[in-house]
Amino acid sequence: MDKKKVNQIFQENVVVVFLIALCIFFGVANNNFFSSTNVINLTSQMCINALLASGLTYVIILGGIDISVGSQIALAGVAAATIGIKFFPNMGYGTALLVLIGTALVMGLITGLIIGFFIAYLNVVPMICTLAMLSVLRGVAYIFTGGGPVTGLPTTFACLGAKRLIVTESFPNGMIPTNVIFTVIVVLLMHLLLTKTVYGRHVFAVGSNKTVAHLAGINVKRVILVAHTLCAITACMAGVVTCSKLQNGQPNTGEGYEMFAIASTVLGGTSLAGGRGSVARAMFGVAIIAVINNGMNLLNISAYWQKVVIGAIILLAVALDMAQQQRKKA
């Protein structure tokens, strides 16, 4: 194998190498990092960001962005909590699951279609549109709740966010978090949709060149509309999982989450210029962000420094992406 081939393989898998290096570093720095309890907590902590990144991948491949996902988390959470309290105060596990998933689908469909319509059919710049929706949706969540949390939910409401399956002697409360199972299913479906369907091929075609895609007979506006709807649905899924985990709906939930999701997606190799990306590889970015946060917490490093590190990683990832784009043009 020649040197050029080795360099190419390394460049394609640098994220995986970086993730392994981080795990080794934190494992050496703190003996608890690789403990079974911490590993389970780490996978559970990844869920919200993984759901967000799976939807954002579609939008970023199209050359767009959605910074309103944090507000969508809050709105979906307070909506699910309100529906649960008002209409199903004594709900069982089955009803709770239907309320949570049903609310996420409906809220995601509504917000996604609104955002997608403005961007695809009214040609509003994605950054401006989603910045406006970030404020609108957050405001609606506060108005809806009067500024306070929605509490008083039954314990069954925790079925999607705080319950665990497979009880053992070492884990009397269960070993596998239900939010991990749910997230794996959603992420897998999003991955298959992008890689195994005609719509997925259309996403890459539109992201690479909208004009050529249009001339090839692809309905560009519809592709963009559906992508933003999928992004909103996964964001609302993250919202109801958070609501289920906290067992209440809070209008301030999800603030700043969009930065972690965008960082994870770009770290996973999704190009901000559009045309390239992968849901599966975005999960490596999600893992990197989770490992950094978890490891720094174990080392008692201030949360303020965590923000600095995440911001620096975003800047570095974007710089590397832009440099790669320049090399391809040259």
Please choose, from the candidates 100, 49, 229, the residue with its C-alpha nearest in 3D space to the C-alpha of residue 92. Answer: 100
Can you read off the two tokens belonging to residue 97? 């699951």
Q: Can you give the pLDDT of all 330 residues of the chain as single tens digits?
A: 566 666 666 666 778 888 999 999 999 999 999 998 899 999 999 999 999 999 999 999 999 999 999 999 999 999 999 999 999 988 999 999 999 999 999 999 999 999 999 999 999 999 999 999 999 999 999 998 998 999 989 999 999 988 888 777 777 777 889 999 999 999 999 999 999 999 999 999 999 999 999 999 999 999 999 999 999 999 999 999 999 999 999 999 999 899 889 989 988 888 888 889 999 999 999 999 999 999 999 999 888 888 888 788 778 877 777 777 676 665
Locate tokens 């392994």: which residue?
A: 20
pTM of the model: 0.93
Please choose, from the candidates 312, 268, 317, 309, the residue with its C-alpha nearest in 3D space to the C-alpha of residue 292. Answer: 309
Please choose, from the candidates 133, 300, 157, 297, the residue with its C-alpha nearest in 3D space to the C-alpha of residue 240. Answer: 157
pLDDT value, residue 328: 64
pLDDT value, residue 2: 62
User: Which residues have a Cβ under 8 Å from the Cβ of 153 and sit 6 or more positions away?
Assistant: 81, 84, 85, 247, 248
d(CA 207, CA 111): 22
Q: Show the 3-state SS of 65-83.
A: CCCCHHHHHHHHHHHHHHH
